[in-house]
Amino acid sequence: MYEDKTLKCKECGADFIFTAGEQEFYAEKGFQNEPQRCRECRNARKNAARPARETYTATCAHCGGEAVVPFKPTEGRDVLCNDCFKKSKENA
């Protein structure tokens, strides 16, 4: 029913494919207009509207390495680095 279309991004001018699956999705949602930006430009535009996420540095309670976390560490509560956090989830 739908066929892939090649469109030109209005932001960067690159050609991108509007796939048959994407067209079907747009039709199901009732969208009237085709996308005007490629995926990279859409993501960049979306992320530009978001405020930068503040991160904090702490010492990992398990390995002693550096842990960068999206919350302010509180005294008396353990903070884990990404690797130790993943390991603790796997063992749970």
pLDDT tens digits for range 4-59: 999 999 999 999 999 999 999 999 999 999 999 999 999 999 888 888 789 999 99
Count, in order, helices (H) and strands (E) of the chain.
3, 4
Instruction: Kindly state whether residues 30 and 45 are assigned to the same domain.
Output: yes
**C-alpha–C-alpha distance, residues 36 and 26, integer Å:** 13
Instruction: Kindly state whether residues 10 and 44 are assigned to the same domain.
Output: yes
pLDDT at 49: 80
Instruction: Kindly state whether residues 41 and 71 are assigned to the same domain.
Output: no
Look at the chain and report how many structural domains it folds into: 2
Instruction: Kindly state whether residues 36 and 20 are assigned to the same domain.
Output: yes
pLDDT at 36: 97
pLDDT at 22: 96
Instruction: Kindly state whether residues 33 and 17 are assigned to the same domain.
Output: yes
Q: In a 3-state reduction of DSSP, which class is residue 3?
A: coil
Name the residue range of residue 79's domain: 56-91
Structure confidence at residue 66 as a pLDDT band (50, 70, 90): very high
Spell out a b/e string for 58-85, using b for 16 or more CB atoms within 10 Å of the CB, else e. bebeeeeeebebeeeeeeeeebbbeebe
* 92 pLDDT more than 80: no
Q: To 10 degrees, the CA torsion angle through 20, 23, 27, 30?
A: 170
Instruction: Kindly state whether residues 39 and 68 are assigned to the same domain.
Output: no
